[in-house]
Amino acid sequence: MTLFVDMDEVMADTYGAHIEIYNRDYQESLTHDICMGSEVWQKVPVERQNSVRQHATNVGFFRNLEPIADSKEVLKELSKKYELFIASAAMQFPNSLIEKSEWLDEHFPFVPWQNRILCGHKHILKGDILIDDRSYNLESFEGRSLLFTSPHNVNSNGFERVNNWQEVALKLL
Query: Which residues participate in catalysis according to the annotation?
Result: 6, 8
Which window, 8-16, 26-34, 90-98, 146-154, contacts a second copy (CB under 8 A)?
Answer: 90-98
24 is a site residue for a second copy (CB under 8 A): no
End-to-end CA distance of the chain: 12
Adjacent-strand bridge partners of 129: 3, 144
Compute the chain's Rg from CA coordinates. Answer: 16
CB within 8 Å of 120: residues ≥ 6 apart: 89, 91, 92
Which window, 38-46, 52-60, 63-71, 95-103, contacts a second copy (CB under 8 A)?
Answer: 95-103
Separation between Cα atoms, residue 4 and residue 15, nearest integer Å: 21
97 is a site residue for a second copy (CB under 8 A): yes
Give me the 102-141 binding string for a second copy, x by CB under 8 A, dash otherwise. x---------xxxxxxxxxx-xxxxx--------------
Q: Kindly tell me which of 59 and 170 has the beta carbon lying closer to a second copy.
A: 59
Which window, 8-16, 36-44, 97-105, 164-172, contacts a second copy (CB under 8 A)?
Answer: 97-105
Separation between Cα atoms, residue 154 and residue 150, nearest integer Å: 7
Q: 36, 17, 21, 33: which is closest to 152 by C-alpha?
A: 36
Q: How many residues sit in the footprint of a second copy (CB under 8 A)?
A: 27
The contact set with a second copy (CB under 8 A) reads 2, 4, 85, 91-92, 94-95, 97-98, 101-102, 112-121, 123-127, 142
